[in-house]
Amino acid sequence: MSLAGLKCLVTGAGGFLGQRIVCQLLEEEENLAEVRALDILISSETLQNFGKLKNKTLLTVIQGDIRDRTVLDTAVEGVSFVIHTASIIDVLGHVEQHTLWDVNVRGTQNLLEACILSNVQHFIYTSSIEVTGPNSRGDPICDGDEDTVYQNSTHAPYAATKKEAEKSVLELDGLPLKNGTSLVTCALRSMYIFGEGSPFLLKHLDDSILNNNVFLRTSRKEALVNPAYVGNVAWAHIQLAKAMRDPEKLNRVRGQFYYVADDTPHVSYADLNYELTKELGFGIEPKLAMPLRMLYCYALLLETVSFLLRPFVRYIPVINRSLLTLLNTPFSFSYKKAQRDFGYVPRYKWEEAKQHTSRWIAKMIPLRAAYLNKKPI
């Protein structure tokens, strides 16, 4: 089903995934009437990239906060479908919990309310694999699917906000709208996303440069996950948007969540960094800095120090138990349901995704090295 002639709003359009979705929408062969790109900040470089792709589709950039209802009411007016990627990702605790909830949960609820008032029929929510887990025990999953039963006992704030926001989205599927239609909602739980522009990959790259071009071993080799390339995750959103307009697929996808992966080999998070850079001369430490149990004890010690210092100073540990569990639990999922229900097939093969990402890393190496050399100790 075509998206030609429709108006779309993408939130988080200045982010790693959001800007890739905007680019793919602008590349659509059958032009949309308008793509609205909403974010609190969109860099000049991102705007230039958007400008290179502009065709007959009108691109409207809206600078505003997802928590500002006035901005949202204007942004959704006359829109046919919304792709909601905006959120704060925080696994270390740099962001206060109330801010996480305001943006990730209340911001999503604000957007839903604005869509309902404006009769926006289709709403796609970018969820996260962390909604599923891993749990605090580190129970593994190998090639799970949407029917896999898993007891999630994690209390990580970011995961909790994504879970609550996803629940808010899916619960409203089927809600009658004033124009006689009904709201159609769906959520995509993406695996860890890599690719050009990844802020996490940049952080790991910085650490490796400071470690003589050797990546730190943050996860066991046995902790296999299946990361997904940013271009494929963006493509899944667009394929789902088309399926929502297809009468034959609509009832299959509405109110559902789907895991989004691709054909990237199952590797640990640390070994993914190495796979993307080994041809550039990078190495990786052969094992963890200390046995995993000792790392958990170390993380607990840092968390305790952080708690004790809280009345006096805000100290954020470089590692915590929740992140250690995430990095060291085998946790992978199949995308077969997405393939079956709305025809999702990865747009980029692993070798192509790897090549694109490696080329970007090669360009970033001298820039990051220069930045780190000037950075005060």
Pick the catalytic residue: 158, 192, 269, 344?
A: 158
- Write out the two tokens for 290: 């200390």
Count of helices and strands (H, E) across the chain: 14, 13
Q: Where are the alpha helices (DSSP H) in the chain?
A: 16-26, 44-53, 69-76, 97-100, 107-117, 157-171, 199-210, 230-244, 247-253, 269-277, 292-309, 321-327, 336-342, 350-374
Longest dimension (CA), the chain: 63
| DSSP-assigned letter for residue 264 | P
d(CA 124, CA 344): 15
**Nearest alpha carbon to residue 256 among 192, 191, 188, 190:** 188
Question: 160 is written with which tokens?
Answer: 């909790």
Residue 254 burial (CB count, 10 A)? 18
Q: Are 41 and 83 in contact (CB under 8 A)?
A: no
Cα atoms in the Cβ-side hemisphere of radius 13 Å centred on 361:
29
> Residue 59 and residue 245: Cα distance in Å, rounded?
22
Residue 290 and residue 364 in contact, taking contact as beta carbons nearer than 8 Å: no
Burial class (CB within 10 angstroms; exposed 0-12, middle 13-18, buried 19+) of 41? exposed
Cα dihedral 285, 291, 296, 298, rounded to 10, equals -80
- Helical segments of 27-67, H only: 44-53
Annotation says 274 is catalytic = no
Contact present, 319 and 298 (Cβ < 8 Å)? yes
Q: How buried is residue 344: exposed, middle or buried, by Cβ count under 10 Å (0-12/13-18/19+)?
A: buried
Point out the residues that are catalytic: 158
